Amino acid sequence: MTGADKASSSGEDKPWRPKLVLASASSRRLELLQQIGIEPDALLPADIDETPGKTELPRSLAARLAREKAHAAAKVAAGRPELAGAYVIGADTVVSVGRRILPKCEILSEAAQSLRLLSGRAHRVHTGVCLVNPKGQERRKMVETRVRFKRLSSSEIEAYLGSGEWRGKAGGYAIQGLAGAFALKLVGSYSSVVGLPLYETMSLLAGEGYPAQLFWLNRV
């Protein structure tokens, strides 16, 4: 039970706050927001083409997709009376080795190829975040994190592929899961590698006047 729920159940007035929409169906992004005490009023995943442009760089791709997701969700939210005046957060994570963009793996062969490429070397994880405020204006942040994997044996790769944890993940792995055992070194934001950089997200919200810390009190 959140602090707001407790206040309501005890007969106290529930503090007002504007609506917040997460432009994602990702359970990990939702959990990250909840970790810092933020509960979205709606999840509105955006159906957009995530194919990289022919010469698009990883950083640019992450920024573009975050922006497109946020604006697509904002458009849907604007048509729903219960979400009128909502803030909308969109995010996208891209894993790259040099300029090579690794896929968000959906088939076994993609994941196997990605893991073999990442084995024993460093790669970069780019996460773009875009916040669209109630006036339709946007603010953006980009976070780049460097991750180095241990050299993976064939049995480790096969076991990880067998777990199915790679499915739908950029670069074919989820660092918050089993693949955490592969990471020798991480320089940057761990939460960004998971899918949503918390410091930057909170900064965007606070900068636009969203009372993100309103329900921190009396959470326990």
CATH number of the domain that residue 165 is part of: 3.90.950.10
- Structural domain harbouring 98: 18-207
Tell whether 187 is covered by a domain.
yes
Tell whether 218 is covered by a domain.
no
CB 2 within 8 A of CB 215: yes
Contacts of 190 (CB under 8 A, 6+ apart): 145, 175
Tell whether 96 is covered by a domain.
yes
Tell whether 43 is covered by a domain.
yes
* Model confidence at 193: pLDDT above 90: yes
Tell me the CA end-to-end span of the chain in Å, nearest whole number. 8
Q: Is 49 exposed, middle or buried (0-12, 13-18, 19+ CB in 10 A)?
A: exposed
Count of domains forming the chain:
1
pTM comes to 0.88
* Model confidence at 17: pLDDT above 90: no
Kindly state the average pLDDT of the residues 201-219: 85
| Residues annotated catalytic, as ranges | 92
88-115 pLDDT, tens digit per residue, is 999 999 999 999 999 999 999 999 999 9
Tell whether 66 is covered by a domain.
yes
29-62 pLDDT, tens digit per residue, is 999 999 999 999 999 998 899 999 999 999 999 9
Q: Which of 116, 136, 144 is nearest to 200 (CA)?
A: 144
Kindly state the average pLDDT of the residues 4-17: 49
Q: What percent of the chain has pLDDT over 70?
A: 91
Per-residue confidence (pLDDT) for residue 14, from 0 to 100: 54
3-state SS assignment for residue 126: strand
Q: Is 176 exposed, middle or buried (0-12, 13-18, 19+ CB in 10 A)?
A: middle
